[in-house]
Chain A
């Protein structure tokens, strides 16, 4: 815009020291001519040969701007930076002015407010602004015949207001290019989004993947690739013509394409993949809890030990059913669903079913518990998965514990019998889980006996023991003195324990070795 009018500037440059004079001249002359003289004075370098070609002039301007940026004091530099920051806004303003030419009312409205905000941040003197405003408007009125000139008028006045604006002119030209890049980048963002949008491609990719994997050995893969039209590069390669290249490249590029798509559309691709995993992870507890309770309730009448069935079915949720099937002939039918935890579909269906029927299940469970409670009053005999009978923990002990902890946790000590039954079940499950874990640890250590070291390893893995809390501290907090003495009884073992616990995490294998 300003460049076209530059050759006219030669005469006014020397004289343009005062902004007021500039304005008067600007009335007579094109506005673009006035800026330059100021710019030259402001920049360290004053010589831009008037005879230079526009490109050379632009080069000089860039050099001048750099020098000005180096030599200008901090305040002016800040201004320049601010201009740089504002430049995108200026771009938009200029664009708005250009677009606004065609509609008259918008032109006046946009030009007048557009001027004032520009003045406020950039101007040194407000008086100039106020004086300038009316001049500006008069210009617009005079120049209405020439539509294209209006934006020039508005822009130059802004620059006139800035004493150091001459530096800024090249800045803008500089920034325009850079900003074009930025705008291009900003424009690309939605494009990426669109590319992600057909994220259906992901599924398509997967299908294509399978196709290619199937056909990697076969030469037909090319055809599939073309049909799917997976990505431009493949097509380009094929267009370039060497089928051998295409053959060699196709599988690799497909894989690359996968990876690339994965990188490009991180959100698109990863989300569904993660969602599958997440659903599996997140849902699991619910899935375990809700459906687990169904089978035992229905199957309970067959079994005298109620809690066994439940505990087994619960562990079935964890995927340890195999033993349970051996022990209980009837349960497998009900637990067939639990046998396949890997299938997300089954899980989701189970999820919905579990959520819907959870309340009903609970009511069933409660009834069953009442029934079971009556039976449990009698001496009950539980059978573990190893086929070993074992007694259940006396209810009184558990109740005392629960009440104590309930008091300490703030709730009232009262625990309903239903809740007591639930706690008993939980403790049953807990002991079964604990037995299995301890078995695994002791077997891993090559022992057939569960040692205290195994228990301590378990507690460390449960994060009950850490460098801050030693097992002895826990024991002294919770256990009565007699049991503490029992714990202390073997001094060497306990000292080892304590030392290791205080030292921090010690690999289980190490510890087991040392103990054995």
Chain B
């Protein structure tokens, strides 16, 4: 993480712009990506819990899919 560029800022801006049909202010994408990181954290954490519950080794597609709806609902503004 430290060595890399964390994320392509332009890409995030484009994505949000396309979905919201709004322009994104200069540094808002940082906060947006921060929110996305929190979402990912939640998603992965829940998925790993679900995987453990299901007796799976690592995080699998099943566990992620099972958890996706909940974590998305949690991050619904």
Q: Which residues of A contact B (CB under 8 A)?
A: 285-286, 288-289, 293, 314, 362, 365-366, 369, 382-386, 388-394, 397-398, 400-402, 404-406, 408-412, 414-416, 418-419, 421-423, 425-427, 429-443, 447-452, 454-459, 461-462, 464, 471, 474-475, 478-480, 483, 486-487, 489-490
Query: Is B77's CB under 8 angstroms from A369's CB?
Result: no
Question: A448-B23, A487-B31 given as contacts; is B8 within 8 A of A426 (CB)?
Answer: no
Query: Is B12's CB under 8 angstroms from A452's CB?
Result: no
Query: Is B34's CB under 8 angstroms from A475's CB?
Result: yes
Query: Is B47's CB under 8 angstroms from A419's CB?
Result: yes
Q: Which of A397, A416, A458 contacts B35 (CB 8 A)?
A: A458
Q: Which of A386, A411, A431, A456 contacts B59 (CB 8 A)?
A: A411
Q: Which of A406, A441, A483 contacts B44 (CB 8 A)?
A: A406
Q: Which of B24, B45, B59 contacts A419 (CB 8 A)?
A: B59
Query: Is B69's CB under 8 angstroms from A285's CB?
Result: yes
**Measured between C-beta atoms, what is the minimum distance from A489 to chain B in Å?**
6
Chain A binding surface SS class: helix
In the complex, what distance in Å separates the CA atom of A461 from the CA atom of B38?
13
**Number of contact residues on B: which range applies?**
35 or more
For B35, B36, B39, the residue with the greatest tally of chain A CB atoms inside 10 Å of its CB is: B35
For B20, B52, B58, B71, the residue with the greatest tally of chain A CB atoms inside 10 Å of its CB is: B20
Question: A438-B20, A450-B20 given as contacts; is B2 within 8 A of A486 (CB)?
Answer: no
| CB-contacts of B1-25 with A (<8 A) | 1-2, 4, 6-8, 11-12, 14-25
Question: A405-B40, A451-B25 given as contacts; is B6 within 8 A of A480 (CB)?
Answer: yes
Query: Is A386's CB under 8 angstroms from B45's CB?
Result: no
**Measured between C-beta atoms, what is the minimum distance from B7 to chain A in Å?**
5
Query: Is B27's CB under 8 angstroms from A400's CB?
Result: no
Query: Is B68's CB under 8 angstroms from A479's CB?
Result: no
A426 contacts which chain B residues (CB < 8 A)?
A: 43, 64, 68, 71-72
Query: Is B18's CB under 8 angstroms from A435's CB?
Result: yes
Query: Is A435's CB under 8 angstroms from B61's CB?
Result: no
Query: Is B22's CB under 8 angstroms from A423's CB?
Result: no
**Measured between C-beta atoms, what is the minimum distance from A503 to chain B in Å?**
18
Query: Is B31's CB under 8 angstroms from A452's CB?
Result: yes
In the complex, what distance in Å separates the CA atom of A386 from the CA atom of B17?
10
Chain B binding surface SS class: helix
Query: Is A391's CB under 8 angstroms from B11's CB?
Result: yes
B 36-73 binary contact with A (CB < 8 Å = 1; else 0):
11111101110111011000011111111110111111
**Can you list 14 residue pairs at the A/B interface with Cβ under 8 Å?**
A285-B73, A384-B18, A406-B48, A414-B57, A416-B59, A429-B68, A434-B77, A436-B19, A450-B16, A451-B25, A461-B77, A471-B34, A475-B30, A479-B37
Query: Is B25's CB under 8 angstroms from A437's CB?
Result: no
Q: Which of B22, B24, B39 contacts A430 (CB 8 A)?
A: B39
A435 contacts which chain B residues (CB < 8 A)?
A: 15-20
Query: Is A448's CB under 8 angstroms from B4's CB?
Result: no
- Nearest chain-B residue to A286 (Cβ)? B69
**Measured between C-beta atoms, what is the minimum distance from A380 to chain B in Å?**
13
- Nearest chain-B residue to A398 (Cβ)? B40
B18 contacts which chain A residues (CB < 8 A)?
A: 382-384, 386, 388-390, 435
Query: Is B59's CB under 8 angstroms from A450's CB?
Result: no
In the complex, what distance in Å separates the CA atom of A271 from the CA atom of B17?
45
**Measured between C-beta atoms, what is the minimum distance from B1 to chain A in Å?**
7
Query: Is B27's CB under 8 angstroms from A437's CB?
Result: no
Q: Which of A388, A419, A447 contacts B60 (CB 8 A)?
A: A419
B64 contacts which chain A residues (CB < 8 A)?
A: 419, 422-423, 426
Query: Is A393's CB under 8 angstroms from B41's CB?
Result: no
- Nearest chain-A residue to B44 (Cβ)? A405
A439 contacts which chain B residues (CB < 8 A)?
A: 19-22
**Measured between C-beta atoms, what is the minimum distance from A182 to chain B in Å?**
49
B30 contacts which chain A residues (CB < 8 A)?
A: 452, 475, 479, 483, 486-487
Query: Is A419's CB under 8 angstroms from B77's CB?
Result: no
B47 contacts which chain A residues (CB < 8 A)?
A: 419
Query: Is B40's CB under 8 angstroms from A427's CB?
Result: yes
Query: Is B77's CB under 8 angstroms from A386's CB?
Result: no
In the complex, what distance in Å separates the CA atom of A464 from the CA atom of B74?
10
Extra contacts, 14 of them, besides A429-B68, A480-B1 (Cβ < 8 A), are A391-B15, A393-B15, A405-B45, A411-B51, A422-B64, A422-B68, A426-B71, A434-B19, A449-B23, A450-B20, A450-B25, A452-B31, A475-B34, A480-B2
**Measured between C-beta atoms, what is the minimum distance from B60 to chain A in Å?**
5
